[in-house]
Amino acid sequence: MITYKRGHLSIAFVCMVLGFMLALQFRIAMDQKASLPYQRVEELSARLIETEKERDALQEKVASLQQVQPAPGNTEGEQMLRELRLRSGLTALTGPGVIVTIDDSKIKSKAGENQNLYIIHDDDLLKVINELRAAGAEAISVNGQRLMATSEIRCAGPTLSVNNVRSAPPYEIRAIGDSATLESALRMRGGVMETLQVWGIQLEVKAAQDIVVPAYKGASKFSFAKEAEEAAS
């Protein structure tokens, strides 16, 4: 039937090359399937869920540990401890004050104009908080993050990082203090609110009688600072 007159070896060689290419292509296709981006996405989302669970568990642990009260007895020491916790932001506080809600501008930026002017930046928020502090705010939180002595407010891409926790607009600032003073400090003519509203940034101030400012949830540990031996002047 089939008769190869000559060149049997050359046919075998060609078939060998073909087989080589086939195997190579097969392996490449397998590799590509194994590295498809959606598998990466799946893996990452699974890890995210896991980490979130871990975080929730740890937060619960922190809450339960913070509820452990020192043994009563030394009333003076106890009172001092309470005072310190109050001042350092380790306890949730409640009282009269204002709730300020800030959101990005709804105005469409005109062509050629800098879009950055219409979104909230860290300095906008810092101005508001500075004004609140100047007006005598005693406790402030941004999107549920209590501001403490070491808190930062910083742009982190399109989001804002407070206490190293990122959040996206709208930002809700809660401040405890004399609500009338706080409100008028923000609404001052030529003040923060007016400046920001030029760019269409939505700023809403609401006075309330029972504002709850949450406690600081993160870890507090000094790894560099130590107590100085003698009081430096």
Partner 1 sequence: MILALVGLGVGLILGSLCPLTIPVTYSKLFSVALLAGLDSVFGGFRSALDDRFDNMVFMSGFFVNGLLAAFLVYAGDRLGIDLYYVALLAFGLRIFQNLAIIRRYYLKKRR
Structure tokens at 70: 């020192």
Nearer to partner 1, 31 or 76 (CB): 31
30 CB-contact burial (10 Å; exposed 0-12 / middle 13-18 / buried 19+): exposed
Rounded to the nearest whole angstrom, what is the least distance from the CB of residue 40 to partner 1 in the complex?
Answer: 16
- Using CB under 8 A as the binding rule, the residues of this chain from 158 to 177 that contact partner 1 are none
Longest dimension (CA), the chain: 110
Nearer to partner 1, 24 or 92 (CB): 24
Nearer to partner 1, 5 or 189 (CB): 5
Rounded to the nearest whole angstrom, what is the least distance from the CB of residue 19 to partner 1 in the complex?
Answer: 3
Q: Is 86 among the residues that bind partner 1 (CB under 8 A)?
A: no
Nearer to partner 1, 20 or 59 (CB): 20
Nearer to partner 1, 28 or 126 (CB): 28
DSSP, collapsed to helix, strand or coil, labels residue 138 as coil
Asked if residues 191 and 98 have their Cβ atoms less than 8 Å apart, the reply is no
Rounded to the nearest whole angstrom, what is the least distance from the CB of residue 151 to partner 1 in the complex?
Answer: 46
Asked if residues 100 and 201 have their Cβ atoms less than 8 Å apart, the reply is no
Q: Which helix (H) or strand (E) holds 47?
A: helix 37-66
The site that binds partner 1 (CB under 8 A) totals a number of residues, namely 30
- Positive or negative, the Cα torsion across 176, 181, 184, 185? negative
- Using CB under 8 A as the binding rule, the residues of this chain from 21 to 80 that contact partner 1 are 21-28, 31-32
Rounded to the nearest whole angstrom, what is the least distance from the CB of residue 36 to partner 1 in the complex?
Answer: 13
Rounded to the nearest whole angstrom, what is the least distance from the CB of residue 172 to partner 1 in the complex?
Answer: 47
Rounded to the nearest whole angstrom, what is the least distance from the CB of residue 6 to partner 1 in the complex?
Answer: 6
Structure tokens at 11: 């046919």
- Using CB under 8 A as the binding rule, the residues of this chain from 3 to 22 that contact partner 1 are 3-22
Nearer to partner 1, 16 or 81 (CB): 16
Asked if residues 201 and 87 have their Cβ atoms less than 8 Å apart, the reply is no
For 77-223, strand residue ranges (E) read 93-103, 139-142, 145-146, 153-156, 159-162, 165-167, 171-176, 202-213
**Residue ranges that bind partner 1, judged by CB under 8 A:** 1-28, 31-32
